[in-house]
Structures are given as structure tokens and as C-alpha cells.
């Protein structure tokens, strides 16, 4: 892949436990396998460590967090880096604000029914949220506003990871952000 590859932002949104981060990391690997070298992953861990310290879970703080991640994506994208963000990002308006600023923005809605994420409860957070031990928990005591026109929708409750990956990579090819595989 030539070095004048153009950047874009791949933004995963969905409930906690829907599989955003896993999928994002596997897409990163797939893009590297296709020869893209400049990729930055902004998942929960990276964001907590480097950007969001001091912010809580009020709507205002969540919006600040998303604007901040969005700004980093914007800066990376305009410098020809592929930015991959995986954040619950529950509010539509601020996601759309980020989309507007970034320009080359691909929204992946990681759809998974609440029942399914609650049943899986990988981190044990839904149990606590349902017991009222965690306040402002998206999907339980805080809203999640699904995207109206995302570039990609994956259904991690009923699709295999291969299917979801295939949808994302095809969308990137169709949008002209990724050359078709030989």
C-alpha cells in the first residue's frame, strides 16, 4: 500500500458488551494484513488511560468524552491515519457532530439485543446496573440512541464474527476507503 493512503475514521457504537472492541481489534488486524500501516485504536482502555480521566457518566460528561475522542479521530484522519474508535457513544447528536467534523467517517452500529448482552454480562456490569449499584448505565438506566443511517450495521447477537467483519470490510471497499482485495 502506498504511503499516500488517505485516512478515515471507523467508529463503533453500541451497548456495553455488544462486542465493539473485539470487532474493532480484529478489523485493525485485517487492515494491517491489507498493508495499511498507520492505524490508531481508540478503544475503552486507551481512552480511559489517556483522555477521559475526571469525566463521569452524566450526559454532559459523556458528550465531552465523545467530542474529545472525535477530535483525536479528526486530527488523525486529516493526517492520513486510520482512526478506529470503539465507544458506547450513546447519544446520536454528538456522534453526528463528530461525523460532521471528521468528514471521512464510517459509523458501525454494533447491534445486540439488551437480553443478549445482559445474559452474557462479560464484565458483570449489567447485574450491578440492574441491581441499581451502578447509576447511569446505558441500556439499563441511561438511553442508547441507535444510529439512523450508519454505514454498517452488524448484529453480534446472531451473526458470526466473520459475517460482521465481512460487512465492515466490504463497506470500506464500497466507500473507496479500502482497495478491493486481489
Query: Looking at the annotation, which residues are catalytic?
Result: 89
Give the β-pairing of 82-86 and 8-13. Answer: parallel
Helix (H, G, I), strand (E, B) or coil at 154: strand
Q: Which is nearer to a copy of itself, 15 or 62 (by Cβ)?
A: 62
Select from 71, 89, 85, 113 the least CA-distant residue to 9.
Answer: 85
Binding mask 25-44 for a copy of itself (x = CB under 8 A): -------------x-x----
Our finding on whether 10 is near a copy of itself (CB under 8 A) is no
3-class DSSP state of 8? strand
| Position 101 contacts a copy of itself (CB under 8 A) | no
Secondary structure element (H or E) that encloses residue 114, with its range: helix 114-120
Please tell me whether residue 130 adopts helix, strand or coil conformation.
Answer: helix
> Taking the complex as a whole, how short is the minimal distance between the CB of residue 141 and a copy of itself, in angstroms?
23
Instruction: From residue 85, give the alpha-carbon distance in Å to each of 2, 12, 51, 133, 180.
Output: 24, 6, 13, 28, 23
Q: Is 81 in the site for a copy of itself (CB under 8 A)?
A: yes
Say if strands 39-42 and 8-13 run parallel, antiparallel, or are unpaired. Answer: unpaired
Cell numbers for 89: 457513544
For the bound state, the minimum distance from the C-beta of residue 68 to a copy of itself, rounded and expressed in Å, comes to 6
C-alpha cell at 28: 485493525
- The backbone region for 132, taken as left when phi is positive above 0, alpha when psi lies in -120 to 50, beta otherwise, is left
Given the rule CB under 8 A, which of 48-56, 92-100, 143-151, 162-170 is the region that contacts a copy of itself?
A: 48-56
Binding mask 118-157 for a copy of itself (x = CB under 8 A): ----------------------------------------
Q: In this chain, which of 55, 114, 118, 125 binds a copy of itself, going by CB under 8 A?
A: 55
List 1, 45, 50, 146, residue binding a copy of itself (CB under 8 A): 50
Binding site residues, a copy of itself, CB under 8 A: 3-4, 38, 40, 50-51, 53-55, 61, 64, 67-68, 71-72, 75-76, 79-81
Amino acid at each position: 500500500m502506498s504511503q499516500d493512503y488517505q485516512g478515515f475514521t471507523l467508529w463503533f457504537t453500541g451497548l456495553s458488551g455488544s462486542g465493539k472492541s473485539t470487532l474493532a481489534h480484529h478489523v485493525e488486524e485485517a487492515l494491517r494484513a491489507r498493508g495499511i500501516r498507520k492505524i490508531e485504536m481508540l478503544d475503552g482502555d486507551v481512552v480511559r488511560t489517556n483522555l477521559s480521566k475526571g469525566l463521569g457518566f452524566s450526559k454532559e460528561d459523556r458528550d465531552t468524552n465523545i467530542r474529545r475522542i472525535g477530535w483525536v479521530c479528526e486530527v488523525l484522519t486529516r493526517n492520513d491515519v486510520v482512526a478506529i474508535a470503539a465507544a458506547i457513544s450513546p447519544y446520536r447528536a454528538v456522534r453526528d457532530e463528530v461525523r460532521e467534523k471528521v468528514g471521512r467517517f464510517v459509523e458501525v452500529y454494533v447491534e445486540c439485543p439488551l437480553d443478549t448482552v445482559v445474559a452474557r454480562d462479560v464484565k458483570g456490569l449489567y447485574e450491578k446496573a440492574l441491581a441499581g449499584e451502578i447509576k447511569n448505565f446505558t441500556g439499563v438506566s441511561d438511553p442508547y440512541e441507535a444510529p439512523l443511517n450508519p454505514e454498517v450495521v452488524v448484529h453480534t447477537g446472531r451473526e458470526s464474527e466473520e459475517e460482521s467483519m465481512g460487512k465492515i470490510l466490504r463497506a470500506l471497499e464500497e466507500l473507496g476507503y479500502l482497495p478491493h482485495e486481489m
